[in-house]
């Protein structure tokens, strides 16, 4: 038996000893493994990520994978884009002129068709309940892997109208919990104290003393979690960087460019947070669960999306931030390519995502669905492939393992995930 050095996972230790590395020299491999992680970060162009989450599942045959020769796939027409040979929906005319920045992945093929289970799968990379564990979301993974540990704003901010366990930090712990912003126009509420600063400081000091005494007597995870959450809240209250949440500081012309919708203002907030140093922001646009009256709903949603997403990409580019900011458009799955009555049902077998900025080679389409958009005909991309790709773009070693609270080593991305090489510029 031998002691595994801190910082080295059990599985890495076993691999090294199997390769003939003695127990006494295991600590010498820590710099090597750290260097591998550092090299991945150094090679990545993306230093932050914005996910535009289309909650409910957007239909690919109404947005980025048009089937103009198959009337039963939809009523909307395909239009040309800024890149010859690539067409998208007529509902996205503004964004069509930014196609040089975008790569459409039309071969997404996943396995969960129920909303919550699919959200968990597409946010964590693992299926709900798999192995009896609660897995960290991609935002929490990014917060842990590339976030600044002592940054006064959480490295993961979710501007979303859906809050569920798919956002959580899982076994990584509460330190990597997202900060939720329900209404971007209001920012983070209750940041200003209702009493004087000395009084606040005195109360915080008293609470810290009480927590310290309790934690010393009852060393339980819940105590640590409570203290972590409370410390983060206090830090956020005291930092000048919290001004990033105040959209009133933006010129009205800029706010108008993004649109007055919650999604549009959320996109503006995401840009401000990237400028401030936040590493991972998710902005949600709900309403895509179009079982009924699909055409009307999609037209309205695409109007909001087209205006705000176009403004975000243009603003990031004008500020010199697009090359270092990965932007991903996605939902938890797609929708049936043909209609059921006037609506579309859940569909995970074939759907689309869009990658922009952050080292992505734009102006291309990756993968192809069949004539009706029902199956992936070329270049399928699984959930594990998708996660490996995002990790690679953000400079995260997707094969690195993390020990769960029970000591079980797990890779950040489920085994078998391979980055989509065509995306890398």
Q: How is the chain split into domains, by residue range?
A: 1-15+28-43, 46-187+246-423, 188-240
pLDDT, residue 228, reads: 60
pLDDT, residue 146, reads: 97
Homologous superfamily of 46-187+246-423 in CATH? Answer: Alkaline Phosphatase, subunit A (3.40.720.10)
pLDDT, residue 357, reads: 98
pLDDT, residue 195, reads: 44
pLDDT, residue 241, reads: 83
Structure tokens at 224: 């640590």
pLDDT, residue 230, reads: 53
Residue ranges of the chain with per-residue pLDDT less than 70: 1-42, 161-162, 190-238, 425
**CB contact set of 346 (below 8 Å; sequence gap of 6+):** 57, 113, 114, 115, 118, 333, 335, 336
pLDDT, residue 108, reads: 98
């Amino acid at each position: 038996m031998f002691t595994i050095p801190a910082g080295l996972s059990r599985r890495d230790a076993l691999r090294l000893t199997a390769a003939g590395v003695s127990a006494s020299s295991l600590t010498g491999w820590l710099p090597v493994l750290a260097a591998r992680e550092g090299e991945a970060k150094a090679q990545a162009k993306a230093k932050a990520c914005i996910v535009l989450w289309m909650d409910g599942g957007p239909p690919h045959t109404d947005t980025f994978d048009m089937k103009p020769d198959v009337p039963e796939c939809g009523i909307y027409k395909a239009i040309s884009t800024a890149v010859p040979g690539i067409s998208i929906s007529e509902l996205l005319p503004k964004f069509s002129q930014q196609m040089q920045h975008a790569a459409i992945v039309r071969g997404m093929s996943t396995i969960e068709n129920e909303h919550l289970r699919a959200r968990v799968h597409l946010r964590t990379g693992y299926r709900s309940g798999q192995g009896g564990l609660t897995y960290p979301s991609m935002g929490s993974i990014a917060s842990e892997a590339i976030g600044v540990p002592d940054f006064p704003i959480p490295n993961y901010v979710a501007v979303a109208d859906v809050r569920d366990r798919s956002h959580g930090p899982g076994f990584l712990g509460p330190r990597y919990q997202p900060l939720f912003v329900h209404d971007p126009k209001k920012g983070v509420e209750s940041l200003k104290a209702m009493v004087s600063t000395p009084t606040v400081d005195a109360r915080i000091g008293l609470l810290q003393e009480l927590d310290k005494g309790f934690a010393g007597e009852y060393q339980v995870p819940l105590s640590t979690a409570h203290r972590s959450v409370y410390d983060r809240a206090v830090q956020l209250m005291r930092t000048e960087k919290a001004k990033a949440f105040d959209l009133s500081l933006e010129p009205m012309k800029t706010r108008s460019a993004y649109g007055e919708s919650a999604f549009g203002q959320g996109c503006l907030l995401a840009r401000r947070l990237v400028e401030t140093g936040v590493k991972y922001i998710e902005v949600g646009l709900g309403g895509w669960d179009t079982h009924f009256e699909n055409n009307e709903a999609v037209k309205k949603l695409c109007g909001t999306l087209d205006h705000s997403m176009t403004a975000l990409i243009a603003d990031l580019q004008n500020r010199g931030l697009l090359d270092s900011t990965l932007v991903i458009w996605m939902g938890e799955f797609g929708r049936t390519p043909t209609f059921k009555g006037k609506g579309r049902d859940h569909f995970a077998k074939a759907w689309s995502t869009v990658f922009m900025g952050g080292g992505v080679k734009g102006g291309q389409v990756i993968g192809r669905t069949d004539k009706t958009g029902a199956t992936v005909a070329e270049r399928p991309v699984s959930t594990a492939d998708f996660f490996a790709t995002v990790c690679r773009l953000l400079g995260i070693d997707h094969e690195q393992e993390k020990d769960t609270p029970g000591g079980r080593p797990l890779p950040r991305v489920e085994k078998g995930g391979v980055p989509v090489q065509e995306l890398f510029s």
